Chains A and B, each alone.
Chain A
């Protein structure tokens, strides 16, 4: 079992700093997720943990022992690659036995562990096949099998599901979660898919351009995002954003104005530059639920998506008189232009809304997050 500690870890490649002074600790037995847009340095960070890349600066400790000068073979970590990296010239059995035979394990022990892993992953009937005769999902399981046979201290998975189709991805996701719980091995899982991050992780670290933005449980990241980027990146559909301004002790939005709790007012009033307000689609509702504090506004349903248990209503809000909304480009949220901003509400399907209908929506003021547009900082978060 293992606790992994990163202190001030940086990685510089010629012309780019891929990871910038990152600090965090992964607890023993934890399922830890590294998430962020592609190119943000997730793989690089993972490669440094496993020893495939040198650290340029800082140190990595496992259970208090420095490992950053150790060869990968001396770190007793197992890794699953995005490409699976299954040895094409070996059968499934030989693939799984490979790390064990390198560790000079006895024949019986290898046989025992391989068949045990094969059973867990339902690979028994494929043991003597070559990888090229396997489907994508089966290859993925072989890669997992090769990792678990070693009974390593740490599992590292680099986007292990991104080459699978949507249905298989969901299935393997639950399988990985179950396996990790069963084995209790410290696991670091890299993904650019926030859904995977939210569903799998005990804790999630959000990386952006080599910098660690926030670490927390899925719930913390969802409810208390520390920055505009995290707020926009976590959650699907993404958080709704509107330009906002502080005026007459109230926060004015294109859909109306709200009061803020006493202790937060000063912070918003002192903020520099334009403000951005954000609220999640599920925090909009079609009734006030008897709460008179709620902001009430009327919209026209532009597109309606009915997904059985959920109903998504897309609508536009006029931005008249407000600044342009400048969201970070790497969020890749295309939701509006100069005049209008497109928002979405997740409401009760029983409301029976149709495209073109006008409807009243309610928003609880305490659900609104306020960000400084320039720095991206969440002003309502107690620091």
Chain B
């Protein structure tokens, strides 16, 4: 190794060190700590009773109705909102791609939901669906309290998520659309493909990797849903998400032992999801980002 090469390695590590150390200290270390805590009976309200109990906390969590309910709620919210976002995102992206005059305006408007604070978005929709303050019941001629019933509460939550995040999906997909060469679509047209065939047989396959990346990020993000549920129902009407369960155990009830078991389990779920996407659908994220 020449003098300059060695110096280059050293400089590279030196420049990356602060970021890497920060990331390790604030994620890996607490994660290990959570693993450790999850092996204890440890309730901050009764600190004296702290005691090593092995995997009992996990057994308690996995044996509880609440966990499974929250898991199925979370999966439902994730699947429903990501599916709607993908379809709607495609529609929006196509509109932006085709709109000649309003393209900039549409793009700017879509950035508003992206930029707005989730809590504010959740509040706005909560007030909109509220029977006393809202305009939606008046608009539709309905009476009911949307957030007071499980089904309609899910509808409001999912619709808020969709509103907030479709723009991200649409902007990614639009960028993907612009990567499809026009000449290819012209060629397909000459070859006799109609608009629908062109979309499904040329555009869509070429956008596969962009779609997969967008889906991966959105799925993992939706799976962590917390703000919207917290603001709109706080988990009542049986709408608790996993993050809400974790928050309640850790921060509301200060049960660090049990709560940490929930944390670790959520982490494992996310890991599994990421693995499914990356292995199962063959997304190679490191490849695409390499210089």
Task: Tell me if chain B binds chain A.
Answer: yes
Tell me whether B287 is interfacial, beta carbon within 8 Å: no
Whether a CB of chain B sits under 8 angstroms from the CB of A180 is no
**Which B residues form the contact surface with A (CB < 8 A)?**
2, 4-5
* A residues in contact with B4, CB < 8 Å: 54
Cβ of A122 within 8 Å of any chain B Cβ, yes or no, is: no
- Can you report 4 A-B residue pairs in the complex whose CB atoms are below 8 A from each other? A54-B2, A54-B4, A54-B5, A56-B2
In the bound complex, residues from chain A placing their C-beta under 8 Å from that of B2 are 54, 56
Q: How far is the CA of A54 from the CA of B4 in the complex (A)?
A: 8
- How many interface residues does A have (CB within 8 Å)? 2
A residues at B contact (CB < 8 Å): 54, 56
Contacts of A54 in B (CB 8 A): 2, 4-5
- List 4 A-B pairs, minimum CB-CB distance, nearest first: A54-B2, A54-B4, A56-B2, A54-B5
B223 CB → nearest A CB, Å: 40
Closest to A56 in B: B2
Measured between beta carbons, the chain B residues less than 8 angstroms from A56 are: 2
Which residues on the A side are within 8 Å of B5 (C-beta)? 54
List the B residue with the shortest CB-CB distance to A53.
Answer: B4
| CB-CB nearest in chain A for B2 | A54
* Smallest CB separation, B34 vs chain A (Å): 40
User: Closest residue of chain B to A14, judged by CB?
Assistant: B5
Say how far A299's CB is from chain B's closest CB, in angstroms. 42
Task: Give bound CA distance, A54 to B2, whole Å.
Answer: 8
> Closest CB of chain A to B12's CB: distance in Å?
15
**Nearest chain A CB to B112's CB is how many angstroms away?**
32
| Distance of A56 Cα from B2 Cα, bound (Å) | 8
CA distance A54 to B8 in the complex (A): 12
Shortest CB distance A70–B (Å): 12
Q: Taking the nearest CB of chain B, how far is it from the CB of A13, in angstroms?
A: 11
Q: Can you name the residue of chain B whose Cβ is closest to the Cβ of A12?
A: B2
A213 to B5, CA, bound (A): 30
Give, as a whole number of angstroms, the nearest-CB distance from A52 to chain B. 11
**A310 to B151 CA separation, bound complex (whole angstroms):** 85
Q: Closest approach, in angstroms, between the C-beta of B4 and any C-beta of chain A?
A: 5
Name the residue on A nearest B4 (C-beta).
Answer: A54
CB distance from A74 to the nearest CB of B (A): 15
Bound state CA distance, A351 and B5, in angstroms?
A: 64
- Would you give the shortest CB distance from B25 to chain A, in whole angstroms? 33
User: What is the CB-to-nearest-CB distance from A14 to chain B, in angstroms, rounded to a whole number?
Assistant: 10
Please measure, in the bound complex, the distance between the C-alpha atom of A54 and the C-alpha atom of B5, giving whole angstroms.
9
- Complex Cα–Cα for A8 and B5 (A): 21
Cα separation A56 to B4 with both chains bound (whole Å):
11
Q: Smallest CB–CB gap between A362 and chain B, Å?
A: 50
